[in-house]
Structures are given as structure tokens and as C-alpha cells.
Chains A and B, each alone.
Chain A
Amino acid sequence: MSTDEVVLLDFWVSPFCLRAKIALAEKGVAFVEQEEDLFGGKSELLLKSNPVYQKVPVLLHNGKPMCESTIIVHYIDETWPSPPLLPTCPYERARARFWADFIDKKVFEAGGKTWQSKGEEKEVAKKEFLEILKVLEGALGEKDYFGGDSFGFVDIIAIPLTSWFDSCEKFGLFKIEEHCPKFSAWMKRCLKRETVAKVLPNPEKVLEFVTSMRKMHGVE
């Protein structure tokens, strides 16, 4: 078997890139991280590999590019099948994809509004964000992870977004644990996992980054 060449075009604070990193770590796949300077100038390789969106993450497997984080995680799961991230039963797989899609559609944008807005708008944003987390709490139920007993696909899609939650809490002036204790417990459970703990960025650095984004958006 020839050696696989796996490259990830990355941006350190991007929760979408983190999804790919966690999935690769879960599978024990070695890869090269290429940090992109999204504000200074995107690399030729990025522009060539993702001409449609020009965004990270991009996974290059033996030179062939794949874009969109959820699609990348699917690819990683299908190419390196062990341990499986998705369940085997088609109905449970459809459920996992449904929740991944819900998280994709709702969480980042709602979280963003909590640190981008002020006054009345901020109260509305906070309420909406917590409602979304409550829906996810409902999906989690009494399970340890979204898929059941084992860490899997939906957890990988969701957990990286939580690296921005400290910032949401600080600027939105709320504590997730007070409103969504089960979700908070799930977060802590995932953060104990080595594949997650090793890749999630330092929360203080994320806060610094979000603070500078607020300045850029004229919110500070």
C-alpha cells in the first residue's frame, strides 16, 4: 500500500477546519496542516483547490481536493472506515445527517449574532441561540453523545463550534450551563477526549480573535 498524502488547508480558529482535524485524528490518519492567511492573502493552492468558494477547510488526498467541512468528514469516514463515525443503520444515518445539517444551518450564525450585536438585538440573539441549544439538548436526550454511547459524526460537527462559545457568553452576557446544563455536560465530556482536546484552540486566543472581529464590525 502506497503512502497516502493528506493535506489540510486550514485556519487555526475556524471551527469548520477543526471538524476535519478531529475526524482525521479519530481515524489515526497523519496529515500536513497548511495554515492559510485568510486576511493577508489566500494561497494559490487554496484558490485552485476551491475556486467556487475560496474557503477553508480544503482536504487534499493524494492531490485531489475536497471542500465543505461536513462533506469532508463524510469523505474521511468513507475512506478510512475504522472506527466508524456514522451508524450502520440507514435510518440512524439519516438522523445523524439531519442533526449535522441543523447544526450547520443554525449554530454558527446564531452564535455570531450574540457577539456581533448590541442592546435589544443582543437580547433577541441570546434568546434565539439558547433556543437552538435547547433543541440540540432534546436531540441529545439522556445519551452521552448524539449517536449514543460513542463519540461520532454529529459530535464532530458540533464540538468545534463550542470553541467560540466562551466569546458568545462573554459578549452576550449569559452562561450556557445555567440554561442548557445537559448541553454543557456534553461539551465537557467531548473536551475530555484526546482527539478533541489536542486540536481545539486556546479559548483565550479565540476570545482575542473574536474581540478583533468585533472591532472590525464596529461593535466595540
Chain B
Amino acid sequence: MADEVILLDFWPSMFGMRVRIALAEKGIEYQYREEDLMNKSPLLLKMNPVHKKIPVLIHNGKPVCESLIAVEYIDEVWKDKAQILPSDPYQRAQARFWADYVDKKVNAVARNVWATKGEEQEAAKKEFIEILKVLEGELGDKPYFGGETFGLTDISLIGYYCWFYAYETFGIFSIESECPKLIAWAKRCMEKESVSKSLADPHKVYDFVLGMKKRHGQE
């Protein structure tokens, strides 16, 4: 029986990218459906009535919501290739901890880096770099967060990389000069086809952010 896999997504979403990467890692064929977040489809509203957000993975008609939950689901269903979570329970707990750290810390602060001005923006930039430095510390000298292989924590964070150009341009700072090891890690991830094909073009992301700032009367 052929699996039917659909992904409801929005092209610049770093959360959507997580699911795209996981599906690509496993070589799963799926239908990508672009959502207009200003005009959400009936399917999205039906499949995610609680949060009404993307990404939503729909597997044989059944929805899985929340990007990290969808990534774990993909790992459990298609378990014969490209393992995303480690087998050892302690390593799994570490992977989940750092993926959760990305969720709790990066998003809110990153938004303020481009959405605010003056002192507020300076504070956001400072906090953002501090968070990236903590992540750099956790990475250490390993090629990926989990060690030798690309895994959950890498997947949770890498989508932000295509937003860095926008953050740096609007924030007027260089992430590479503050966190060179993290940028080296990001470039290493980008060598993987599953990542390079799933991330958005940084210049398109910049245009998108510029559009958002204009709509909010910030430009």
C-alpha cells in the first residue's frame, strides 16, 4: 500500500524546514502544499484546529502537528534509514533537551533582532548572540550536535541559518564573527542535500522580512 504523505507548510518557516529535512533524510516522497497564512486553507484548519499553524504533516489522512513531534514521528515510522534520534535513552534526552532549548530560546529573541529598533534591538542582538554561544558551547568540537551523525538538534536549529542574512542586515552585525564554530557547523549541514534543498534562499527571506517590516510600518 503506497503511503500518502502531505506537508502543509510556508516556504520561509524554519519549523516547516525541520519537517522537510526529516522527510528528505528518509527519502520519503510527499506532496508539499504552500499555505497562505493570511488565508488559511480549510484543510489546515481541519487538520490543526487547536493551533491553526503550519507545519502539519498528514500521513494517510492523519495529521501530526508541531514540527519536533512530526520529526520524531517520521523517525519512528520510517526507521530503517537515516536515524534521527539516537538509540540510547540518555543521548535521546540530551538531543530533546537541546531541540527544546532552540524552541524556547531562539525564536522569540530572533524575531526581536529584526522587528525592533534602538535599545530594544541592541538588547535582542546581545541575547541572540549569547544563546548562539551556548549552542556553540554544546556543539564543542563535534561535527554535529549529536556527535558524528546529523540528528534532531541539528534539524531543530539549521532552518534559522537561512534567516541569518536577514538578521545580520537588519541588525547590522556579523554572526560569523561572534560564533565562527556555529557557522562552520551550519555550512557543514548545508553540504547535505536534505538540508540545502529544504532551506529557503537567504535573499528571498530578507525580502520577505522587509515586506513584513513595511506592513508593520517599520520601513
User: Which residues on A are within 8 Å of B, measured CB to CB?
Assistant: 52, 61, 64, 66-68, 71-72, 74-75, 78-79, 90-91, 93-94, 97-98, 101-102, 135
Contact = CB atoms under 8 A, between A and B. Distances in A.
B26 interface: no
Contacts of A72: 93
A97 to B, nearest CB: 5
Interface residues of B, number: 21
Given A68-B97, A68-B100, A71-B100, A101 B92 contact: no
24 contacts: A66-B90, A66-B93, A68-B96, A68-B97, A68-B100, A71-B96, A71-B97, A71-B100, A72-B93, A75-B89, A75-B92, A75-B93, A90-B76, A91-B59, A91-B73, A94-B69, A94-B70, A94-B72, A97-B66, A97-B72, A98-B64, A98-B65, A101-B66, A102-B50
Nearest to B65: A98
Contacts of B96: 68, 71, 74
Contacts of A78: 89, 92
A69 to B, nearest CB: 11
Closest 7 CB pairs of A and B: A78-B89, A90-B76, A94-B73, A75-B93, A66-B93, A94-B64, A97-B69
B62 interface: yes
A66 B98 CA distance: 11
Given A75-B89, A93-B76, 11 more contacts: A52-B134, A66-B90, A66-B93, A67-B97, A71-B97, A71-B100, A72-B93, A75-B93, A93-B72, A98-B66, A101-B69
Given A74-B93, A75-B92, A90-B77, A98 B100 contact: no
A91 B65 CA distance: 11
A98 B68 CA distance: 10
B201 to A, nearest CB: 31
B37 to A, nearest CB: 19
Nearest to A135: B50
Contact of B69 (A64, A68, A75, A98): A98
A52 B97 CA distance: 10
A47 to B, nearest CB: 15
Interface string B63-94: 01110011011001100000000000110110
B66 to A, nearest CB: 6
B183 to A, nearest CB: 22
B10 interface: no
A75 B66 CA distance: 20
Interface in B88-122: 89-90, 92-93, 96-97, 100-101
A91 B100 contact: no
A14 B134 CA distance: 27
A93 B100 CA distance: 18
B64 A91 contact: yes
Contacts of A71: 93, 96-97, 100
Contact of A91 (B62, B92, B97): B62
Contact of A61 (B64, B70, B90): B90
B93 to A, nearest CB: 5
Most chain A beta-carbon neighbours within 10 Å: one of B65, B93, B101: B93
A75 B93 CA distance: 6
A97 B65 CA distance: 10
B92 A74 contact: yes
Nearest to A102: B50
Interface string B26-61: 000000000000000000000000100000000100
A135 to B, nearest CB: 6
A17 B134 CA distance: 25
